[in-house]
């Protein structure tokens, strides 16, 4: 049986842990609020942008701009977006699992795969694996700004044009609600053309007219599109991360509470037994003196 002292120590230690998890939950909740506001306000713009691009790529000649081309090559790149910090439940594990699954699938089709990473957690995982790592960005989530998205967007567009990869998939957590995240696999390159049936195409009219000219417009619009999408993905992931952490820490706080209860009960029982035993000893001793 554990000694009273060790039980006391155990209780104190769990209580301290509980304090930490509680504090982390509070912090996550505060950060979540901010991250949530940011993603919710950034979404309409990004979605509209994608809509316009999807619409556009249906109408224009794909050879009009290098960023629009659709190559038949088999070089696939996966951009894995995880967090920098842990302690957020299944947040990173889900992403990494999905990433591995996707990688295997493409390998099965005979594609050449490479990985790019955002977040320290995915780096920790892929560093020890055999897939080719092309690029990594870490420590972006602490002070997430458009600059990071700019950086990522530029890198990706550059390498797509150069032919480093023919298709790029992004795997990230989408922020569904404060307690729900969804793992999303999204194809960023090449741009997905809008699927329309005949009637929709008719109402949308034929080809676009452009002002100023087509080339200039695409040159302005396309790089911007990828930056905006990168920004949205980072924001999604950052909001989802805080949500996941809050839920995980809430669970941990509750578990610690239960543990404290159990150990305290055990402690009290042990103490009671010790007292009873001592009393018996005293009574026994007094009897013997008579």
Q: Return the exposure string of 72-85: e unless at least 16 CB atoms fall within 10 Å of the residue's CB, then b.
A: eeebbbbbbbbbbe
Residue 151, CB-side half-sphere exposure with 13 Å CA sphere: 12
**Minimum distance of another protein from residue 150's CB (angstroms):** 13
Among 211, 284, 285, 288, binds another protein (CB under 8 A): 211
Q: Shortest approach of another protein to residue 172 CB, angstroms?
A: 19
Rule CB under 8 A: choose which of 24, 28, 39, 49 binds another protein: 49
Residue 144 binds another protein (CB under 8 A): no
Residue 207 in contact with another protein, rule: CB under 8 A: yes
- What does the alpha-carbon distance between residue 169 and residue 189 come to, in Å, rounded to a whole number? 7
Binding mask 75-94 for another protein (x = CB under 8 A): --------------------
Rounded CA-CA distance 83/91 in Å is 8
Rounded distance between C-alpha atoms, residue 141 and residue 242, angstroms: 11
Of the pair 45, 280, the CB lying nearest another protein is at 45
Annotated active-site positions, please? 88
Task: Based on the shown chain and the rule CB under 8 A, indicate whether residue 287 belongs to the binding site for another protein.
Answer: no
Yes or no: say if 55 and 192 are a contact pair by the CB < 8 Å rule: no
198 scored as a contact of another protein (CB under 8 A): no
φ/ψ (deg, to 5) at 236: -55, -50
Cα separation, 60 vs 166, whole angstroms: 20
For residues 51 and 258, which CB has a smaller minimum distance to another protein in the complex? Answer: 51
- What is the Cα–Cα distance from 2 to 266, expressed in whole angstroms? 10
Confirm or reject binding of residue 55 to another protein (CB under 8 A): yes
52 binds another protein (CB under 8 A): yes
The binding site for another protein (CB under 8 A) comprises 41-42, 44-45, 48-49, 51-52, 55-56, 203-212, 216-217, 220-221, 228
């Amino acid at each position: 049986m554990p000694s009273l002292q060790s039980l006391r120590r155990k209780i104190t230690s769990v209580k301290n842990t509980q304090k930490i998890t509680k504090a982390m939950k509070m912090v996550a909740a505060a950060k979540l609020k901010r991250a949530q506001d940011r993603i919710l306000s950034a979404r309409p713009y990004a979605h509209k942008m994608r809509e316009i691009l999807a619409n556009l790529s249906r109408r224009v000649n794909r050879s009009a701009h290098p960023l629009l081309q659709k190559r038949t090559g088999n070089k696939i790149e996966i951009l894995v977006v995880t967090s920098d910090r842990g302690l957020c439940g299944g947040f990173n594990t889900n992403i990494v699992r999905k990433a591995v699954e996707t990688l295997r699938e493409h390998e099965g089709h005979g594609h050449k795969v490479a990985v790019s990473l955002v977040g320290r957690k995915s780096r920790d995982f892929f560093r020890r694996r055999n897939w080719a790592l092309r690029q990594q960005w870490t420590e972006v989530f602490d002070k997430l700004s458009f600059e990071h998205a700019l950086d990522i967007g530029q890198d990706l567009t550059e390498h797509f044009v150069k032919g480093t990869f023919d298709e790029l998939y992004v795997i990230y957590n989408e922020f569904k609600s404060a307690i729900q995240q969804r793992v999303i696999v999204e194809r960023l390159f090449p741009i997905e053309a809008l699927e329309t049936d005949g009637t929709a195409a008719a109402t949308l009219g034929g080809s676009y007219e452009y002002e100023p000219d087509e080339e200039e417009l695409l040159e302005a619009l396309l790089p911007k599109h990828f930056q905006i999408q990168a920004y949205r993905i980072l924001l999604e992931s950052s909001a989802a991360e805080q949500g996941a952490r809050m839920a995980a820490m809430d669970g941990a706080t509750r578990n610690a509470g239960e543990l404290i209860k159990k150990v305290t009960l055990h402690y009290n029982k042990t103490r009671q037994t010790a007292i009873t035993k001592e009393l018996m000893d005293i009574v026994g001793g007094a009897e013997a003196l008579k």
